[in-house]
Structure 1
Amino acid sequence: MGKLYAGDDVFVYKIVKRSFDLISALTLLILISPLYLLLIILVKYKIGSPVFFEQKRSGMGMKPFYIKKFRSMTEEKDSQGKYLPDSERITQFGAFLRSTSLDELPQLISIIKGEMSVIGPRPLPTHYDAYYTAREKLRFKVRGGLISPEVMYDNIRPSWDEQLEYEADYVERLSWEIDAKIMVTVFKGLFKRYSSDYGDYERTDLDIERNGEIK
Structure 2
Amino acid sequence: MLDRFVAAIALLLFSPLLIIIAIAIYTRMGRPIFFIQPRPGKNGRIFSFYKFCTMTNECDDSGNLLPDVQRLTSVGRFLRQTSLDELPQLWNVLKGDMSFVGPRPLLVAYLDRYSPEQARRHEVKPGITGWAQVNGRNTLSWEEKFKFDVWYVDHWNLWLDLKILFLTLVKVFKREGISHPNHATMSEFQGSPSPSSTK
TM-score, structure 1 length as denominator?
0.83
1:159-198 correspondence to structure 2 within 5 Å: 159-192=141-174, 194=175, 198=179
1:119 corresponds to 2:101 = yes
- Supply the AA of the counterpart residue of 2:43: G
Partner-residue secondary structure (3-state), 2:104: coil
CA contact (8 A) 1:67 1:110 kept: yes
Partner-residue secondary structure (3-state), 1:76: coil
- Supply the AA of the counterpart residue of 1:96: F
- Supply the AA of the counterpart residue of 1:75: N
Label 1:86 to 1:151 Cα distance change in 2 as closer, same or farther (>3 A).
closer
Q: How far apart are the structure 1 equivalents of 2:184 and 2:24?
A: 23
Q: How far apart are the structure 1 equivalents of 2:122 and 2:62?
A: 38
Gaps of 5+ in 1: 1-18
Q: Deviations over 1:27-67 (max 9, x none)?
A: 01100100001111000001110101111111001011121
Identity, % of aligned positions: 34
1:206 maps to 189
Q: How far apart are the structure 1 equivalents of 2:28 and 2:194?
A: 37
Equivalent of residue 126 in structure 2, options 144, 149, 159: 144
CA contact (8 A) 2:55 2:73 kept: yes
The higher-RCO structure (CA 8 Å, 6+ apart) is: 1
CA contact (8 A) 1:21 1:118 kept: yes
Partner-residue secondary structure (3-state), 2:21: helix
TM-score, structure 2 length as denominator?
0.89
- Supply the AA of the counterpart residue of 1:43: I
Q: How many residues align?
A: 194
1:30 maps to 12
Gaps of 5+ in 2: none
Label 1:120 to 1:92 Cα distance change in 2 as closer, same or farther (>3 A).
same
Label 1:195 to 1:61 Cα distance change in 2 as closer, same or farther (>3 A).
closer
Q: Deviations over 1:166-201 (max 9, x none)?
A: 010000111122112112211112123x25664964
Partner-residue secondary structure (3-state), 1:32: helix
- Supply the AA of the counterpart residue of 2:152: Y
CA contact (8 A) 1:29 1:108 kept: yes
Label 1:212 to 1:46 Cα distance change in 2 as closer, same or farther (>3 A).
farther
CA contact (8 A) 2:3 2:99 kept: yes
2:71 maps to 89
1:66 maps to 48
- Supply the AA of the counterpart residue of 2:185: E
Label 1:95 to 1:137 Cα distance change in 2 as closer, same or farther (>3 A).
same
1:99 corresponds to 2:81 = yes
